[in-house]
Amino acid sequence: MSPHLLFVDDDWEFRTAVSAKLSRRGYRVTEARNETEMHHVLRSAEVNVILLDVVLPGKDGLTICRELRSSSTIPLIILTARSEPTDRVVGLEMGADDYLSKPVDLHELEARIRAVLRRCHGSPSARRDEPQPNLRFNGWHLDKHKRQLRSPEGSLIDLSRSEFNLLAALAERSQRVLSRDQLLEITRGIEAECFDRSIDMLISRIRRKIKPDSDGAEIITTVRGDGYMFALPVSRG
């Protein structure tokens, strides 16, 4: 069955034009003008990807995104006229899987939709067979299945979706140097325009939430000119 897209945007002309093009490409597209209509669709149908505008009547898209992430893992792509790197970082911090500036290029939008579908859904058999390892380092416990991080004391650490994805990407490749471009590719699943400050800001946020090890050394180290490295050995299971 074709992927079902939920397109939330109050700009009727833009929404209907993009929806028509995506429909011709074989997607099932349901349109919504605001949060109320969006939730009506989510209650009545299975949705594979949400396309969400930032500027909406009533509750804005970033707030909607943050609230959705507390109860849903449906892949979400933000579409917005805002194109500053800091705006993109905020969108990713709120839990978006990707961020695309208007006016959108249909081919790029399709590529990003396919990427989040591959990353977040995959085939049913692959999902059943895929191991869901627990990663442990220096007393910390990263549960990829539950998408949770617990401290050595057992406290649950509040991580945004982007923070969790980035931390997991680094921990799974511990003691390897990863460039910003590699991290963007791993965590977002597509070759997209790089905005390095998004990685830098996420690393900074993660560091504030994870204390250094017993020797006072950072768990995630900066390798000048090359990128970042998860400095501790990681065990699985």
Domains located in the chain, CATH noted = 4-126 (3.40.50.2300), 134-232 (1.10.10.10)
Question: What is the length of the chain?
Answer: 237
In this prediction, residue 235 has a pLDDT band, given cuts at 50, 70 and 90, of: confident
pTM of the entire structure? 0.56
pLDDT in tens, 29-70: 999 999 999 999 998 889 999 999 988 988 888 889 888 887
Mean local confidence (pLDDT), 22-26 = 91
Of residues 190 and 17, more confidence is placed in 17
| C-alpha span between 54 and 145 (Å, rounded) | 29
DSSP symbol at 105? P
Burial class (CB in 10 A: 0-12, 13-18, 19+), 155: exposed
